[in-house]
Structure 1
Amino acid sequence: MKVSSIILLLFLQFCQLVSTAQTYKGIVADEQTKEPIAFVNIVYSEGAGTVTDIDGRFEIRTNIEVTEFRVSCLGYEPKVIDVSEFANKATIYLQPLEYHLPAVNVLPTENPAVIIMKQVVKNRYRHNPDNYDPFSCIIYHKMTLDFEWPSNLSLEERAELRDSLGLINDSFLFLFESVSEKKHVKKGVGKEKILSGRVSGLKDPILASFPAMLQPFSFYNQYVKLLGYSYLNPASKPGLAAYQFVLEDTYTTATNDSIYYISYRPRNDKNFRGLTGAFHIDGSSFAIKTVSATTAGTENGMRLFIRQNYQPVANGAWYPKQLESSLELGGMGALRKLPFPLVGKGKSYVTAINTQPQFSAKEFDNVVMEDLNIADDAPDIAHFRYEPLTARDSLTYQYLDSIGRKNHLDAILKTQISLVKGYVPMGKLQLDVSRLIDYNDYEGLKLGAGLYTSPRLSKNFSTGGYYTYGFGDKASKYGLEFTLSPFRNKENRLYVKYQDDVYATGSFEFIDGVKALSSERFSRFLTETMDLSRGWTTGAEFRFVKYFKAGIYYSNHELNPQRSYRFVVDGNVAPAFEMNEVGLKLKWANKETFSNSPLGKISNGTNWPVVWLNASAGRWASDSQYEYTRLESRVHKRFNYPNSMYTVLRFEGGYMSGDYPSTLLYSALGSYKSFTVLVPYTFGTMRLNEFGANRFTAMYFSHGFPLGLNTNNRIKPEIVVSTNVAFGDAPVGISTINKGYYESGLYLKNLFSNFIFQYGLSVHYRYGTYRLPEAIDNWAFKLGLEFAF
């Protein structure tokens, strides 16, 4: 047979196949909300099927005679549709179920779903995009915020409610859009930049990056970070034992690839922060094809639901293609007054995947998320839209933008962000709100004000000062400061400051030692012994070698003790003296990453221990001149476990040599009051300045047991047990702890809460050599107070 005849025969056979092939297209949606449903199983012949994409769409091309569609999805009633009743491109509606967790069946052999999930876990390293060779992609994010209306409300009732709230019928409450560029070099090294964005009602897209922060890029790490919490991944080694898996369905695609549909939920006998949802697993590679996950319990009144859809690209690599999230806000703070929960629904589309990009090492630092869309030269989001705006989207922008201009929403939002940062903008000046009101046991109530230049005047320098008055010590204090930051977007500054103020006796500070919203800051309320300091300090702070931060300084101060120190046996007030000191401060936080946001540079933390070191040398003069050296160090590490329990260890120490005044002795380890607020990493039963030391070592140990994690209870208490130990030494005439100071405690954390604070109660007991004669004096009862966000 001639070649031309063979080609003709093949062509005729191909035409026959095309003529007999059938195509079915459609959308699957929720019967009540009319919203599309992602990842719905559609089986159209014995063993053959497909799954809807994140927009609820499906397309079937087959030569097999199709008589019916079997449509199923977790949380919905299954449906069978006769193909003769199906109009092409039609919408199939599924009725939601009142969701009940299925009963756990005890099988005589190993659960087939677990066998499949073990293969997923075994192959997770090669399928995790975080482990791939360099790649880049563009991600378009879109999110709407609106009320979750009850399904039994008629359209007329819904319209009346929206009208009563000042809303028009067809608009969303809010609409967010953004586009980001993600660049990845190797495991742990990458960056995502928000290039452009738009937020309804706002001229500046300050909040446009919010949808990009709701869920991770992939679902393969042992912990999935959602809402600021770490959830145990069911597709992980510890997850295999912590979750119940059910093989719901198995079918083959048009290319004869097997697809396993597996649901999961936390086991009833396990207590950990878990998820519920389902996987579609590719049978040939055991890669995750789709995943849906819902937080098993609410966190501060919030629940998050995410979906991810993966696609194979090249060399067996599977990249996310579509990401979806649904954030339900209800019962938190002022939102409790709203008639219905607020729900934010977002979708992200991954495009322009490049597996052979050209990167420069200078592009990557410890900032993994950077918001560039608020820059004046940021491109218009319209250039990046994955799909055109709907009529409802356009109406939302038109309506809310007019409201935003009329009510100056941009100015209001910027003021609120400034308040979170600690200042109020006043044109080219800014008011330091932290100086307005304060309190401690020595100064009593403090009132004052601080005024500094703002970034509107210059982003490279600032200058200003503060004034405060203490009604307890009846004294005024003030300070002046000039700061220069020569390199924009870098952690560097040069400073000179003069202060006439008081400072806690026997204390010391590390660079970036206490977070802004940490309850460690409550220690300042308890200070009862302070020293007056007049003088100036100059220095510099900078980051180097990516994970190191350093500070150097020189100071000249006149120190004047105001009271006798409790740790001094004779009780005399120390004489005033002049002190010159030069010092170096270091911080090492390996693998620590940051996100640049409108609120500033925010740490994402690190799984490594964080290490601090201070080294200083000084000279002081009273009747004669003396020299001394000081070293202080701290190591801090938190250990997280799959069952959501955790252990925190902190070691701290100080060493002083030479001739030094008693003012410099380490004496600020205690935080005891008859009943006061709990200050972590202090000795709750030790009196303030009860002991002094020229060298000491302290260990703080705590272990937490979270309770009621996978519930909708607003209050989720934790039991925290702790033990603190310290050893110290000091010269003759100083009360010290050379025989070892011991205390243990129990902290019932988060017993009740509001939108801002979580409250608890703690009790600590002092024992060992320094146990006090009266039994009751060895106990300390405290109120636990922590920020809820």
Structure 2
Amino acid sequence: MKKSALIFIVLLTSFAAFAQQKISGIVIDNKTKESLPFANIYISKTTGTITDAEGKFNLSLNKEITSIKVSYIGYETVTIPIDATVKYLKIQLVATQEALDAVVLYNKENPALQIMRDAIARKKDNDPERKLNSFKLNAYNKLLVTANPDSINGQIDSIYTKKDGELVFKEVDSSNFDFKKDITRSHIYMTEKVSEISYSSSKGKREKILATRMAGFKEPIYEVLGIKIQSFSFYNNKYELFGTSYPGPMAGNALSKYKYKILDTVSNNNRESYMIYYSPKKKGETSGLEGILYIDRESYALQKGIAEIKGVIDIKAVQNFDYNNTFQVWFPTDKEIQIRKGKTDDTVSLFGQAVRVSRSTQQDSTKTVNSNKQDVSDFIYLTSKTKNFDLAINEPVTIRGRGLAIEIEDQAHNRDEAYWNQFRTDSITKRGKETYVVLDSIIEKDGVEKDIYLARKLLKGYYPTKYIDLDLRYLVKYNNYEAFRLGLGGVTNANFSTKYRVNGYGVYGTRDQDFKFGVGAAARLDKRTQTWFGVSYTDDLVETGSSRFITDRRAFSLFEPRLFNIDLFYEIRRLTANIEHQITAKTQANLMLSKSNVESTYDYGFVNNGEIFNSYEITEATFSIQWNPFSEYMQTRHGRNEIKTGFPQFAFQATQSFDGFLGGDFNYTKFDARIVHEIRPIDKGVTSFLLKGGLGIGDIPISHLYHTSPNNPNKDVLLQRFSIAGRNSFETMYFNEFFSDKYAMFQAKHRFKPFKIGKSFRPELTLISRFAIGDAENIERHLGQEFNSLEHGFSESGFEINKLFAGFGLSFMYRYGAYHLPKFEDNLSFKFTYYFSLGF
């Protein structure tokens, strides 16, 4: 009996050991010794793997096999014997030139190009988002940051120093031992998400998050949920990985971006497909996509897509499709993405930013010796898996509103285990459950959630308290009229109410010794359309000639450069009522009615109908609309957030002033328009354009005319004009030099990639050119203030060298053209710049 038990244990142990057999290796050309990316490795007729972009592979064998087969188009297929002792294979394939010549001769060109032309041409017949009228599905996603405990040597490390040719024990390092113990118990991090994906040809695609859980957080970090980890489909013209958009390998212009090569033909769902390898035609500083497309031989639809990025980190994304016979379409069923530590120093882009390696100084092996050579960071990886299920095709789908990419149910973060178990396609393990327990405890103890909440508010310019967020914009500012402007403001937050808000501020000018204030209140009429009705009263100063779009989002900066030199303000006491409404998620509208009392702080009179007005009343109705067609938005229980800023962006505004209505003194009409555009190619600088204009008709006092953001102090000597450059202002145009009732301005900027001068010294060069043209009718009606029109066109060009030290840089601009001044130095602007950066 004991002997039988012993035999059983031995056999079981042998089987377990065999089941854990792992084989790694590389496939190369036997002559050139170059690796062969994405070669097929078959364990059986239906199972196997492919090599990665470097020709490397890993096999986990769960049953006994005696051989594997390796194939690669243009090479002889080989069979490699396998036994339990094999751990690593270096497989060399022999090219068969005859087979390659036959394929090329028959097609008269690279055959992969014609296959890709056909696949791209038939996208409208194969892409589910083009072919289908609608679809709806559920998706379960699990993201882990983890490591395989079996890969880690958990021995306690002994560190020795060399002294007189002998090793002398220095200390014990138990970090590997502790890490293996911890990683065996739980993952490093874990999140889960259940979504409902709806699509209709008329309203596009919408993700509704039904349940979400982030280890350690009672409420999710919504900005993280807004990150597009992986595109929904390889059919998209832009394929997105972790917030960075790459040219899609099946985009309309893909053949100009990628090289293609046939690797093999394989079978999937009893349908054959071409294996097409793609890689960038041009290698940039940042690693680009390369991978495999499995193209159906019958329909030229996509059966499977693989994308890899190799560099300081390695990224691999896989998406599988399944054939739906009823609707004759290959539909995405699941996708996975993995990130691991890379083996090269090549730059990789994450979230639109370059990730570069920074090598730490290694220990001198001639003086220090570690008994354990293993670096556990080599085994840590991130994996995100999404499984689609409950697919319904061409059935009625309801998507309320347009343009919203993600909608999060209010109770998504409060789902119980029973709810989660309805949707989990991958059961949660004991190790996964323990991850939530461990991180919930750690993050609560360290107050991480509160710190993140505080950081999120601070970046928007608020300091949160329980019910009121203090507005940091009003703390301290400076201008030439008030000198220091000190104050405090605040607005109620979601803890106070999600349906009502109250705001207010008070400021004091140290030079004019005057107190200014504003108060307001608003009520939300509809959550989905973010419709708010509000009233406000303001008693404050406004810059003469300034104009704003009332749909502009709140902007916060540490300081506003142009404010330092402004000295021409008018006092305004204004009562407003306004209604905000989201026509679509990408289209915001605002209608405002205001009654204002205006009084100049400078010598000024406006002649109208034979009367001189030193102070006056204005009654205005303003309608403004902002349209950002390429941005993406997310709706949370706290409101609507922009999760991806797209360009171009458009704004339009119409204003009508009424003479005699509610005491208004003037009648005029104003139209304003603005277009903002940015081009951000990977591996290159950023090119931005700003086109803005306004047209005023009627009796318009100087307070409501236009200036084009002048930013040059009225000083005689160049160095006396040294100040802070603005973002979109005319640096050589003197304050109060021009006012117009109609104008157009254009700005073009190009910011080059940072120069690699030192580890922490990476200045940025920006080229800038600006032009403005305008006119002002009946300048003689404006008494007490002398100014010119812009009828001949104003031009300036120059450059900035930014981030020379702690965010500071220098600006150099030159004024030329019709308004060029006789004295050379009067056409120059020399200032410093400041660009706040968090360092990532």
User: Which TM-score tier does this pair reach, normalised by the shorter chain?
Assistant: 0.7 to 0.9
Rounded to whole Å, the distance in 2 between the matches of 1:147 and 1:471 is 60
Rounded to whole Å, the distance in 2 between the matches of 1:481 and 1:746 is 42
Question: Could you tell me which residue of structure 2 aligns to residue 125 of structure 1?
Answer: 124
Question: Could you tell me which residue of structure 1 aligns to residue 772 of structure 2?
Answer: 725
Question: Could you tell me which residue of structure 2 aligns to residue 16 of structure 1?
Answer: none
Matches within 5 A, 1:546-565: 548-563=587-602
Q: TM-score, normalised by structure 2?
A: 0.73
Q: Give the Å deviation of 1:500.
A: 1.9
Whether 1:318 aligns to 2:330 is yes
Matches within 5 A, 1:203-242: 203-207=218-222, 210=225, 213-242=228-257
Q: Give the Å deviation of 1:121.
A: 1.8
Question: Could you tell me which residue of structure 1 aligns to residue 186 of structure 2?
Answer: 171
Q: Give the Å deviation of 1:201.
A: 1.2
C-alpha contact 1:170 1:392 (8 A) present in aligned 2: yes
Question: Could you tell me which residue of structure 1 aligns to residue 266 of structure 2?
Answer: 252
Question: Could you tell me which residue of structure 2 aligns to residue 699 of structure 1?
Answer: 746
Question: Could you tell me which residue of structure 2 aligns to residue 671 of structure 1?
Answer: 711
C-alpha contact 2:338 2:381 (8 A) present in aligned 1: yes
SS in structure 1 at match of 2:539? strand
Q: Which of 810, 813, 820 pairs up with 1:764? A: 813
Question: Could you tell me which residue of structure 1 aligns to residue 207 of structure 2?
Answer: 192
Rounded to whole Å, the distance in 1 between the matches of 2:664 and 2:385 is 69
Q: Which is greater in Rg?
A: 2
Rounded to whole Å, the distance in 1 between the matches of 2:476 and 2:664 is 39
Residues 579 and 545 of structure 1: is their aligned pair in 2 closer, same or farther, counting only changes over 3 Å?
A: same
Give the aligned residue type for 1:172. H
Whether 1:785 aligns to 2:835 is yes
Q: Which of 359, 363, 369 pairs up with 2:406? A: 369
Question: Could you tell me which residue of structure 2 aligns to residue 183 of structure 1?
Answer: 198
C-alpha contact 1:232 1:272 (8 A) present in aligned 2: no
Residues 70 and 646 of structure 1: is their aligned pair in 2 closer, same or farther, counting only changes over 3 Å?
A: same
Once the two structures are superposed, what CA deviation does each residue of 1:95-143 show, in whole Å capped at 9, x if it has no partner?
Answer: 999xxxxxxx999963333333222222223232322320011111111
C-alpha contact 1:628 1:656 (8 A) present in aligned 2: no
Question: Could you tell me which residue of structure 2 aligns to residue 482 of structure 1?
Answer: 521
Q: Give the Å deviation of 1:146.
A: 5.3
Q: TM-score, normalised by structure 1?
A: 0.77
Question: Could you tell me which residue of structure 2 aligns to residue 276 of structure 1?
Answer: 290
Rounded to whole Å, the distance in 2 between the matches of 1:781 and 1:474 is 32
Whether 1:243 aligns to 2:258 is yes
C-alpha contact 2:404 2:585 (8 A) present in aligned 1: no
Name which of structure 1's ranges 278-287 and 195-204 shifts more when overlaid on structure 2: 278-287
Rounded to whole Å, the distance in 1 between the matches of 2:811 and 2:72 is 47
Q: Give the Å deviation of 1:215.
A: 1.7
Rounded to whole Å, the distance in 2 between the matches of 1:352 and 1:57 is 32
Rounded to whole Å, the distance in 2 between the matches of 1:122 and 1:337 is 49
C-alpha contact 1:651 1:700 (8 A) present in aligned 2: yes
Matches within 5 A, 1:273-312: 274-294=288-308, 305-312=316-323
Rounded to whole Å, the distance in 1 between the matches of 2:360 and 2:476 is 30
Question: Could you tell me which residue of structure 1 aligns to residue 392 of structure 2?
Answer: 354
Question: Could you tell me which residue of structure 2 aligns to residue 683 of structure 1?
Answer: 730
Rounded to whole Å, the distance in 2 between the matches of 1:491 and 1:391 is 42
SS in structure 1 at match of 2:452? helix
SS in structure 2 at match of 1:455? coil
Residues 212 and 331 of structure 1: is their aligned pair in 2 closer, same or farther, counting only changes over 3 Å?
A: closer
Question: Could you tell me which residue of structure 1 aligns to residue 167 of structure 2?
Answer: none
Q: Give the Å deviation of 1:617.
A: 0.7
Matches within 5 A, 1:491-510: 491-510=530-549
Name which of structure 1's ranges 651-660 and 496-505 shifts more when overlaid on structure 2: 651-660
Question: Could you tell me which residue of structure 2 aligns to residue 10 of structure 1?
Answer: none
Matches within 5 A, 1:310-709: 310-314=321-325, 315-326=327-338, 344-360=382-398, 363-372=400-409, 374-375=411-412, 378=415, 380-513=419-552, 516=555, 523-524=562-563, 527-544=566-583, 548-563=587-602, 575-590=614-629, 593-597=632-636, 600-602=640-642, 604-605=644-645, 610-619=650-659, 626-636=665-675, 638=677, 640=679, 648-672=688-712, 674-702=721-749
Residues 496 and 692 of structure 1: is their aligned pair in 2 closer, same or farther, counting only changes over 3 Å?
A: same
Rounded to whole Å, the distance in 1 between the matches of 2:405 and 2:646 is 13
Residues 71 and 304 of structure 1: is their aligned pair in 2 closer, same or farther, counting only changes over 3 Å?
A: same
Whether 1:140 aligns to 2:140 is yes
Rounded to whole Å, the distance in 1 between the matches of 2:271 and 2:38 is 17
SS in structure 2 at match of 1:130? helix
Rounded to whole Å, the distance in 2 between the matches of 1:368 and 1:229 is 17
Question: Could you tell me which residue of structure 2 aligns to residue 775 of structure 1?
Answer: 824
Residues 232 and 547 of structure 1: is their aligned pair in 2 closer, same or farther, counting only changes over 3 Å?
A: closer
Rounded to whole Å, the distance in 2 between the matches of 1:250 and 1:455 is 58
Rounded to whole Å, the distance in 2 between the matches of 1:680 and 1:512 is 20
Once the two structures are superposed, what CA deviation does each residue of 1:495-538 show, in whole Å capped at 9, x if it has no partner?
Answer: 11122221222111113335747999755555443222223222
Once the two structures are superposed, what CA deviation does each residue of 1:711-740 show, in whole Å capped at 9, x if it has no partner?
Answer: x99969676553423222242344223432
Identity %: 23
Once the two structures are superposed, what CA deviation does each residue of 1:434-458 show, in whole Å capped at 9, x if it has no partner?
Answer: 3333444544443322233332232
C-alpha contact 1:178 1:209 (8 A) present in aligned 2: no
Rounded to whole Å, the distance in 2 between the matches of 1:134 and 1:583 is 39
SS in structure 2 at match of 1:671? strand
Rounded to whole Å, the distance in 2 between the matches of 1:336 and 1:581 is 61
Residues 359 and 684 of structure 1: is their aligned pair in 2 closer, same or farther, counting only changes over 3 Å?
A: same
C-alpha contact 2:226 2:643 (8 A) present in aligned 1: no
C-alpha contact 2:730 2:770 (8 A) present in aligned 1: no
C-alpha contact 1:694 1:731 (8 A) present in aligned 2: no
C-alpha contact 1:370 1:595 (8 A) present in aligned 2: yes
Rounded to whole Å, the distance in 2 between the matches of 1:437 and 1:521 is 11
Rounded to whole Å, the distance in 2 between the matches of 1:718 and 1:125 is 43
Once the two structures are superposed, what CA deviation does each residue of 1:388-417 show, in whole Å capped at 9, x if it has no partner?
Answer: 123332221121122234344443433333
Residues 375 and 145 of structure 1: is their aligned pair in 2 closer, same or farther, counting only changes over 3 Å?
A: same
Rounded to whole Å, the distance in 1 between the matches of 2:143 and 2:382 is 6
Residues 637 and 482 of structure 1: is their aligned pair in 2 closer, same or farther, counting only changes over 3 Å?
A: closer
Rounded to whole Å, the distance in 2 between the matches of 1:188 and 1:605 is 20
Question: Could you tell me which residue of structure 1 aligns to residue 795 of structure 2?
Answer: 743
Give the aligned residue type for 2:281. R
Question: Could you tell me which residue of structure 1 aligns to residue 365 of structure 2?
Answer: none
Q: Give the Å deviation of 1:50.
A: 5.5
Q: Give the Å deviation of 1:642.
A: 7.6
C-alpha contact 1:50 1:253 (8 A) present in aligned 2: no
Residues 449 and 566 of structure 1: is their aligned pair in 2 closer, same or farther, counting only changes over 3 Å?
A: same
C-alpha contact 1:725 1:742 (8 A) present in aligned 2: yes
Query: How many residue pairs align between the two structures?
Result: 724
Whether 1:263 aligns to 2:277 is yes
Once the two structures are superposed, what CA deviation does each residue of 1:259-304 show, in whole Å capped at 9, x if it has no partner?
Answer: 3333333223779994233333333332333323345778xxx885
Rounded to whole Å, the distance in 2 between the matches of 1:378 and 1:661 is 59
Rounded to whole Å, the distance in 2 between the matches of 1:71 and 1:159 is 42
Residues 29 and 113 of structure 1: is their aligned pair in 2 closer, same or farther, counting only changes over 3 Å?
A: farther
SS in structure 1 at match of 2:711? coil
Q: Give the Å deviation of 1:595.
A: 1.9
Rounded to whole Å, the distance in 1 between the matches of 2:613 and 2:22 is 78
Residues 394 and 704 of structure 1: is their aligned pair in 2 closer, same or farther, counting only changes over 3 Å?
A: same
C-alpha contact 1:510 1:585 (8 A) present in aligned 2: yes
Q: Give the Å deviation of 1:377.
A: 5.9
Residues 657 and 270 of structure 1: is their aligned pair in 2 closer, same or farther, counting only changes over 3 Å?
A: same
Give the aligned residue type for 1:365. R
Q: Give the Å deviation of 1:460.
A: 1.4
SS in structure 2 at match of 1:685? strand
Residues 750 and 56 of structure 1: is their aligned pair in 2 closer, same or farther, counting only changes over 3 Å?
A: farther
C-alpha contact 2:308 2:314 (8 A) present in aligned 1: yes
Give the aligned residue type for 1:217. F
